[in-house]
Amino acid sequence: MPPAPRVYEHGGGVASVAVTIPDNPLGHTLVHVVDTDRGPVLVDTGWDDPGSWAELCEGLTALGTSVRDVRGVLVTHHHPDHHGLSGRVREASGAWIAMHAADIAVVRRTREAEPGAWRGYLVAKLEGAGAPASHTAPLRAARPGDLPLPRPALPDREIGAGELLDLPGRRLRAVWTPGHTPGHVCLHLEEAHPANLPGRGRLFSGDHLLPGISPHIGLYEDPDDAGPGLGDPLGDYLDSLERVARLGAAEVLPAHQHAFTGAGARVAELLAHHEERLTGLLALLATPLTPWQLAERMEWNRPWARIPYGSRTIAVSEAEAHLRHLVKQGRAEPVPGGAPVTYVACDPS
């Protein structure tokens, strides 16, 4: 017998289905199901994989509905463990798909990219960060067809910052929380908590606020974002955290791990974590370093030598985001004339 679907009833017309992310330590995405007067609406959909699709369908059936009944999909952000199955849900039900405009632009750019475009962009980005030839060689050797770009579903509705969403019988407001992606949104259910917990409603937090993980904050995946004079994803994230704390939500329903209370305390932990990390990086930058060299020296969940190839690329992007923020704050600066560019801490005097 196949295992029973992992379904969680949160009360007040809200439930979630755990949808597996294949070969990923996160384990699963929690797809939230919100009852409305016109049928269920999903918050995220999970990874596009046959087993994950079966789990989503079985979970909806266990909740007394089906994928054919889904009215709409609210996507917190464009990453494939959140948006991956949106297209299949739309094909099965005719549901609309909604996403913030900044992430719709990422989806559109991905769909329109020529074969090999991502490879060229990534090689140039890594070389600019000081990656050694041993790291870029596999990308250079790859043929365009070896690195196919996905074709994520193009949303047909935009989620506006602060918008009270058109969900009959519910009061759900979008909160723009850039950082993890440029168009990440949280969704604030402005209704009394079904268990009367103190606070203001419930927050579907996507990847923005998780109970035991600090989400990855790297540079936005944009070929036009090529220098320190441009965006500041870490600054966006920290500002967004404070915005979420001010909501005073009674309970947080994230896309990974589990529901939790104490949103304000968790935000405070994350703000302290990032300030501690920034202070530690400034100490490392007493000597000029490239982003790659900085990533090698940063503390991760395992030694650098044991970090897999793909995860090193992600780690370097996170180092770059922290460097970008330090430069914006005037706490670090690029050293003129270097290629690749090195960075050094500013003299506090």
Phi, psi at 12, each rounded to 5°: 65, 30
Q: Do residues 266 and 211 touch, judged by C-beta distance below 8 A?
A: yes
Residue-level pLDDT at 318: 95
Q: Is the dihedral of CA 217, 219, 222, 228 positive or negative?
A: positive
Could you tell me the pTM of the whole model?
0.93
Q: Characterize 240-249 residue by residue with b for buried, 16 or more Cβ atoms within 10 angstroms of its Cβ, and e for exposed.
A: bbeebbebeb
Phi, psi at 9, each rounded to 5°: -95, 120
Residue-level pLDDT at 227: 45
| Angle, in degrees to the nearest 10, between helices 263-284 and 309-329 | 90
Alpha-carbon span 177 to 210, nearest angstrom: 13
Residue-level pLDDT at 337: 83
- Tell me which DSSP letter residue 2 carries: P
Pick the closest to residue 170 from 97, 71, 63, 90 (CA basis). 71
Helix, coil or strand: residue 329: helix
Q: Do residues 228 and 323 touch, judged by C-beta distance below 8 A?
A: yes
Q: Is the dihedral of CA 98, 253, 194, 55 positive or negative?
A: positive
Residue-level pLDDT at 293: 96
Q: Is the peptide bond before 340 cis (omega within 30 degrees of 0)?
A: yes
Alpha-carbon span 246 to 123, nearest angstrom: 40
Largest CA distance in the chain: 69
The pair of three-digit structure tokens given for residue 139, joined into one six-digit string: 């990308």
Alpha-carbon span 292 to 134, nearest angstrom: 13
Nearest-Å Rg of the Cα atoms of the chain is 21
Q: Do residues 106 and 184 touch, judged by C-beta distance below 8 A?
A: no
User: Which residue's structure tokens are 């030694």?
Assistant: 303
Residue-level pLDDT at 1: 44
Dihedral of CA atoms 213, 218, 220, 225 in degrees, nearest 10, equals: 170
Q: pLDDT 10s digit of each residue in the chain, 349 long?
A: 455 669 999 999 999 999 999 988 889 999 999 999 999 999 999 999 999 999 999 999 999 999 999 999 999 999 999 999 999 999 999 999 999 999 999 999 888 877 677 788 888 889 999 999 999 998 888 776 566 567 899 999 999 999 999 999 999 999 999 999 999 999 999 999 999 999 999 999 999 999 999 999 998 876 555 444 458 999 999 999 999 999 999 999 999 999 999 999 999 999 999 999 999 999 999 999 999 999 999 999 899 999 999 899 999 999 999 999 999 999 999 998 878 999 999 987 6
Alpha-carbon span 99 to 81, nearest angstrom: 14
Alpha-carbon span 325 to 242, nearest angstrom: 16
Pick the closest to residue 106 from 88, 69, 80 (CA basis). 80
Pick the closest to residue 206 from 99, 341, 128 (CA basis). 99
Residue-level pLDDT at 281: 96
Q: Which amino acid is at 65?
A: T
Residue-level pLDDT at 283: 95
